[in-house]
């Protein structure tokens, strides 16, 4: 099955800190995504990438930024965390952008900003 990893699994930090959520996949997928999900709610696409050096913003406005320097790595950074950033962040990838392509998800990072 899928090999996509997110670290850390849980993160509790204070307001104003800079944080980076890591996401790596070993499947060689070009397409990678970040979704934000509040507890028990729907997933919102906040960033995506179609390949190296390609990043785009998703539907939901986010103060986070992403980079894609290597195919396997798609980190998400918050320069100054705030309590409103408290949420679960899910990273995903797919082999292509075809309509039939399922997403493979990581286990998620649960972020709490105090």
CB 31 within 8 A of CB 49: yes
Residue 55 in the binding site for another protein (CB under 8 A): no
C-beta of residue 66 within 8 angstroms of C-beta of residue 78: no
- State which of residues 28, 42, 53, 84 lies at the interface with another protein (CB under 8 A): 42
Return the residues of window 2-31 that contact another protein according to CB under 8 A: none
> Which among 21-29, 65-73, 76-84, 99-107 is the span making contact with another protein, rule CB under 8 A?
99-107
Mask of contacts with another protein, 59-98, x by CB under 8 A? x----------------------------x-x-x----xx
Please give the residue ranges that form the binding site for another protein (CB under 8 A). 33, 35, 40-43, 45, 48, 58-59, 88, 90, 92, 97-108, 110
């Amino acid at each position: 099955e899928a090999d996509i990893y997110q670290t850390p699994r849980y993160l509790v930090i204070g307001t104003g800190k800079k944080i980076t959520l890591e996401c790596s996949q070993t499947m060689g997928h070009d397409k990678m995504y970040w979704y934000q999900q509040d507890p028990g709610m729907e997933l919102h696409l906040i960033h995506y990438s179609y390949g190296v050096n390609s990043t785009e913003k998703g539907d939901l406005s986010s103060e986070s930024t992403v980079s894609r320097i290597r195919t396997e790595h798609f980190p998400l950074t918050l320069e100054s965390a705030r309590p409103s950033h408290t949420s679960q962040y899910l990273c995903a990838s797919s082999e292509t952008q075809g309509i039939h392509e399922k997403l493979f998800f990581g286990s998620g990072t649960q972020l709490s900003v105090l």
